[in-house]
Amino acid sequence: MKIRIEFDKGTCIGNKACLAMDFKRWKDVGDKVNLIGGKEITKNIFYLEGNYSKEEIDTITEGAKVCPVNAIAVKNLETGEYIYGTEIITDHAEEVGAEYDDSKEFQLDKEGYFLIRVDEKNKNIEVGLCREPNKVSLKVTGKKPIDIYHMIINKKKLNIRKDHCAYLGRELQKAYIALKKGIKYVQDDELKF
């Protein structure tokens, strides 16, 4: 089947998820990827057209689906329809306003609580899980939030509440930004730019 891979390199944030899924189509070029053989049709927009087998198209489409910023689309040139498009469809979405009252709705996680700090000298983020007050039973050190939360949530297989996982992600990202920008990180406090 003839398809076209469309790549918005300007949107790409370079996390290489597409490359991990489909190494034949993507090349690591540092903070972004290149679409191998792609032609730039307008600034930062690349197209690659060709005939591919069903298996190849499945792999290409999987590579597009894992892109967190919708930088890759796959179009069937025989029907003119997108196999995987980048347009966000909201027609049937349920819409709700977000609200939460920490003073009434907060629930302690039975698994424990996290202490988070930054090691400015070594540019590390350190997370301690306390199952008893002030006693760290697990210490995880890393440079990137994704490494740390995968270690805690998936690899150590801790049974952490979903809202606590979200809290951990938020604080790790704040710590990461603080280290990058050279500003002070205080757990549970806003970053002061």
Interface stretch with ligand SF4, choices 6-14, 80-88, 129-137, 158-166 (CB under 6 A) = 6-14
Pick the binder of ligand SF4 from 57, 71, 116, 125 (CB under 6 A). Answer: 71
Q: With binding defined as CB under 6 A, does residue 18 bind ligand SF4?
A: yes
* Cα distance between residue 187 and residue 171, in whole Å: 7
Pick the binder of ligand SF4 from 4, 15, 27, 48 (CB under 6 A). Answer: 15
Q: With binding defined as CB under 6 A, does residue 4 bind ligand SF4?
A: no
* Cα distance between residue 89 and residue 1, in whole Å: 26
Interface stretch with ligand SF4, choices 65-73, 108-116, 130-138, 148-156 (CB under 6 A) = 65-73
Q: Where in the chain does DSSP place strands (E)?
A: 2-8, 26-28, 33-35, 39-42, 45-51, 72-76, 82-84, 113-119, 124-132, 135-142
Q: Give SS3 for 35.
A: strand
* Cα distance between residue 165 and residue 116, in whole Å: 13
User: Smallest distance, Å, CB 123 to ligand SF4?
Assistant: 23
Residues in contact with ligand SF4 by CB under 6 A are 12-18, 33, 66-67, 69, 71-72
